[in-house]
A = this chain, B = another copy of it.
Amino acid sequence: MPHSRPEPVSTEVPEPLPAPGWLSPDELAAWRTFSRMMAKLQWELDGHLQRTACLSFVEYHALAMLSERPDHTLRMSELADLTNASLSRLSHLVKRLELRGLVRREPDPDNGRFTHAILTEQGHATLVAAAPAHVAKVRELVIDAVSPSQLRQFAAGAERIIDRIDRSAGRCP
């Protein structure tokens, strides 16, 4: 019985508010809907990108982040942050992209600890080819699903959730 209030004992007066730490029926329903949306959206966008461009969602975003830099270059750790991936995950991922010729890596000449990930011409072309269909999907499934003001609300809420996660991450329980 997770996520739902413990059954009140028969003789007990039902409480007007959920027990502390649990979710009210409304909260539970909202969370489940939200959670379902996240799972489905990830799946749909990833599959669409995979079918239309042989790229995963993260791979696409790695290329996209690189393309927005004037020199098409980013340090691995910066790229990891921008793509919301662990450094380890990104390292494996970039290695695969490198094998496909979409990205290359070279050590930072100024500081040998850093590795630069650099978008290749082919990587750029792949991204440019993939982008329109992907962006259209995002618009169709998300942007156009809600009003502009709702979208702002979403973003504001998302921002606050991110803040809480970042606080939560560096915390001793």
Contacts and interface: CB of A to CB of B under 8 A. Distances in A.
A73 to B, nearest CB: 15
A136 to B, nearest CB: 5
Q: Is the interface of A mostly helix, strand, loop or mixed?
A: helix
A11 interface: no
A30 to B, nearest CB: 4
Q: Give how many copies assemble into the complex.
A: 2
A84 B158 CA distance: 22
A54 interface: no
A2 B135 contact: yes
A30 B33 CA distance: 20
Contacts of A140: 164, 168
A138 B24 CA distance: 12
13 contacts: A2-B60, A2-B131, A3-B64, A21-B135, A22-B135, A33-B159, A33-B162, A34-B154, A40-B166, A145-B160, A145-B164, A153-B154, A154-B157
